[in-house]
Chain A
Amino acid sequence: MNFSIILPETFLFLWAILIFVSDFFTKEEKKANLGYLSLLGILVSIFLLFSTGQGELFGKVYSSDALSQFFKMVFLLSSFLTISVSIDFSSKIQRHKGEFFALILVSTVGMMLLSSARELIFLYVSLELVTIPLYVLAAYLKPDPKSAEAGLKYMLLGAISSAILLYGISLIYGITGTTFLNEIKTRLIVDYLQIGPIGSGLFLSFIFFIAGFGFKLALVPFHMWAPDVYEGAPTPVTAFLSVGSKAAGLVAFLRVFFDSFLVYNFDWVTIMATLAALSMIIGNIVALLQTNIKRMLAYSSIAQVGYILVGMVAISERGVSSVAFYTLAYLFANIGAFVVAIAFELQTGSSEIKDYSGLSRTSPILSLMMMIFLLSLVGIPPLAGFVGKYFLFAAAVEKNLIWLVVIAVLTSVISLSYYVGVLKEMYFRKNEEQVKIRIPLGIRIALLICIIGVILIGLFPNPFLDFASQAALVFKY
């Protein structure tokens, strides 16, 4: 066995331990250095990711392939951006600053392992490694009751969703007698040929899987936690939750459904398509009513998951590659929007949309960046979001899911109005008291990466598309 393929995760975890330990020896005013140290660890891990090869360990428990590499890159990027922003955010986090960075790294390790998991027990354990640090991070501003509420809500609902997922796993084990994803598929086929339909237990297990992963993705109707948690959690954590944690749920979803359940039609496509449609409709309409930018972005991210699922239900190579591609585009645009919100919050202490009025006069560059990120989320050419949505919808049209694409396009138009609402405040409202937003180094780095990402992917999508289509080749359709 070639153990080097698991090196990026191993390294990052050891690095997280290093951060935990060096926290003891770091003076309070120098804790920011731990943040830079964490960034270094992530860079090394990205390097290791592309220098180690692909392969399988322990009889397909762990497999490093194009799909996992693609998503590991997404996780490492989102964790890099989050930590880079948190360095400056640490004036708000008054205690345990070192552990803050380390916990983000641990959660990232969980996501990376999850994207490689091809066995259900390992998948479950990695999922817990993703979420347990996130519960803590959501409650990090403990004296703030909203943050404590966010942590508690996230933990209670997360525990329930884990239990439901475990029940689903136990049912599928009872039906097939194995926990290996590819083996489940073969056994389901063999059983079907030998003894006929397996019955409704399989369907029930499938519903439990949707509920378990749907929670992580904040998919309607499992989205109720998202707005409260997103609002209460420290804003860098919210950014991480909205991208990293979602992408982790997504990759587990892809693995389970395309590796195991893609056996015969028991209409899971219809269910998924309905959930996608509901997410897009409810997410976008409720986002219209929000006055707090964190809540607005929470609902918008619920809707974005709906768009991603449009590509998934197409069940084709193009569909999966567009899902992966859109995740990357969404990463830069969404984290970018959050970074602007963080810079604003640090200076003014507010995340109400109405307080953004007149921002374009005092901070023109920041406002311009916010505009680009929001327009990319809507899907306006030539930005990354446009290319992403185009491929998602094209994949669905190919499979004759016209009704879904119509809903997706209509809700995109609705989404324009709340994104533009923010722009209207910034550009067309006058506010003489608006302050100039100071942009510290970490936030500057994050903004730069996001803006380059959004524009570069929009203008030159081909190399990223190639990478995404390689990831999609992992599954047989």
Chain B
Amino acid sequence: MKKSVPIALVFITAVIFLLEYFVLPIELKSTVTMLQNWGIILTAFTLGFGAVNMFVFHGKQVSRRAKGQWPYSLWLLIILVLFTLVGVIMGATSTQYSWLYNSSYFALSATVYSSLGFYMTSGIYRALRAKNAESALLLIVGVIVLARNAPALAAQFPILVNMDSWLSSVPTTSAQRGIMIGAALGAIALGLRTMIGRETGFLGQTTEGEKGG
């Protein structure tokens, strides 16, 4: 019962979405929209779980004075309360809330994204080493693409542009398409297993008695 009800719900919902995509689009549109709205409501509701989890976890860290953790936890809780208060009192679309969001999260988010460049550089430094045939190939291709994206080098050696173009449109595209076809088939198989109740890993493993078949 604990597993069969969720599986039945998954099956019915999946069939509705499939029918809406392939068959009778107008008649099922309102049902699909309703299901999507339920999803949004559920998401909003579960945010409460997330907030409670954060308060419990970080509250414990602060009360235990967990080494190396509690100051960050305290700071997180202060910011969490501040955002909640401003959002609830002033409104999530107010100037005050927007200012708070843009001048803290927006700036920090951009900073973290920018730091990606350094992580990529250190990753490339380790990856581009000719240890064997495959890594030597990766090194050669990597150097060509890097050189092509350096404007001065691309202007000096126009052949790099053609080489990069061929690499992107032939081997890379064919490999990506192969991966996409495999992934799509994998997703269909997983979807089917989920719909018919065979893939229950996301609900916890079934016992032998529950498996059936």
Do A and B assemble together? no
Taking Cβ atoms with an 8 Å cutoff, the residues of B that contact A are none
